[in-house]
Every structure is written in C-alpha cells, then in structure tokens.
Amino acid sequence: PRPTKYSVSFAYDETVGTLLFLGKSVQSGASIPLASLTNLSLTYQAKELVGNKVKVTVTNDAPKAVSKEATWTVNADDTYSVETSQEGEGELVVRGAKNLQRVPAGTELTVFATPADGWELVALTANDVDILKSKTFEVAGNTTVRATFTKKAPTTYAVTLTKEGEGKVAIS
C-alpha cells in the first residue's frame, strides 16, 4: 500500500499576525506534509484579528482519492474591540488597555465620563449593562460603552412677596 500524504495549507495576512504549527511559525501559503492529522494544534497570534477567524485548507496529495478525517482546532487569541458612543456634551474615555481595537478577554477597563459645563451624566452602559456606579467592566466580547449626558435644569428659586402697609408690590 502506498503511504497517504496530506498537506495543510495556511492562508492569512502576514501583516496581521502569525500562525503557529506545533509551536513553530508557518509562512503564509506554505504546505506542510503530515503523516497524521490527529491531535493537530494550530494557534493564530494576531496583531489585529477581525472576527477571530483564520482560513486553513486541508488538501489530499495522494495520487488517488483517499479519505481521512482530520480534526484540529485553530485557536485565535481572544481579543475584542471596545468602542465609545455618547449623547450630549461631555468627554468619554476608556482606560486599561493600550489598544481598544484589540483588548484581551477578561481585561477590566475603567470608564471616565466627564460632563461639559451645564451638563450631567445620567446613564453609562457597556453593551446595555448599567455601569454608572462602578464605571468599570470586564471585556467578554466586542463592547460599546455609551454615555448619556443631559443639560442640567436651571437652578430656580421661589420668590415670595409680602406687603406691609399701603402700596403695590410687583416683580418685573
């Protein structure tokens, strides 16, 4: 019997990250002949991975059709993007990560929401979860931090007029 020869082809953007096969870096488009595809472990280390996906193609290099099941996992590092959105006048800043487009899962971030003069912060959420009191959240997926600032109501005072004696009292 002829030995069955398989290869795994890797395709990815080299400017984005590195694909590791059994702990060693693999060139984009390279084919690696494999005696066995069982328990194969691939890891993708990304600089800016969108959607945590890597394309991996398995081809059969044998001269005749031979079927073999291949099972492996491609583990993309768990990073997510954090975006900000606000309504009203104020400043919204998220701190705790160098790059908010690539925040590792489990990272705790702190939110600083500072209203402009005459405005107040009335709502602060991370993916619709209220963080107004804590101003912190743990990254578990792509997140939008939203601040809602509203204009402060003007300060009003009650004025009472009292009249003593004869005459008129009026406010103009």
Within this chain, do residues 55 and 97 fall inside the same structural domain, yes or no? no
* 157 within a domain of the structure (yes/no): no
Q: How far apart are CA 121 and CA 89, in angstroms?
A: 9
Whether residue 170 is contained in a domain is answered as no
Q: What is the tens place of the pLDDT at every residue in 20-72?
A: 555 556 565 555 554 434 444 444 444 444 444 444 544 444 444 444 333 33
Average the pLDDT over 119-141 and give the result. Answer: 96
Strand partners, 56: 10
Q: Which of 1-5, 33-37, 75-79 has the highest mean pLDDT?
A: 75-79
Structural domain includes residue 61: yes
Q: What range does the domain containing 93 cover?
A: 80-151
pLDDT number for residue 155? 85
Q: Is residue 100 part of a domain?
A: yes
* Residues 49 and 85 occupy one common structural domain: no
More confident residue, 15 or 150: 150
Are both 47 and 70 inside the same structural domain? Answer: yes
Which of 49, 77, 105 terminates a domain? The answer is 77
Name the pTM for this structure. Answer: 0.52
The C-alpha R_g of the chain, in whole angstroms, comes to 30
In a domain, residue 65? The reply is yes
Rounded Cα distance between 97 and 57, Å, is 34
Question: Side chain identity at 70, as an amino acid letter?
Answer: A
Is residue 49 within 8 Å of 16, Cβ to Cβ? yes
DSSP, collapsed to helix, strand or coil, labels residue 50 as: coil
Cα–Cα distance for residue pair 123/117, rounded to 1 Å: 17
Query: Is 65 found in the same domain as 17?
Result: yes
Structural domains in the chain (count): 2
Last residue of a domain, one of 77, 94, 111: 77
**Is residue 115 included in any domain, yes or no?**
yes
Shared-domain flag, residues 71 and 85 = no
Write the pLDDT tens digit of every residue in 89-121. 999 999 999 989 888 889 999 999 999 999 999
Domain boundary (27, 49, 77) is at 77
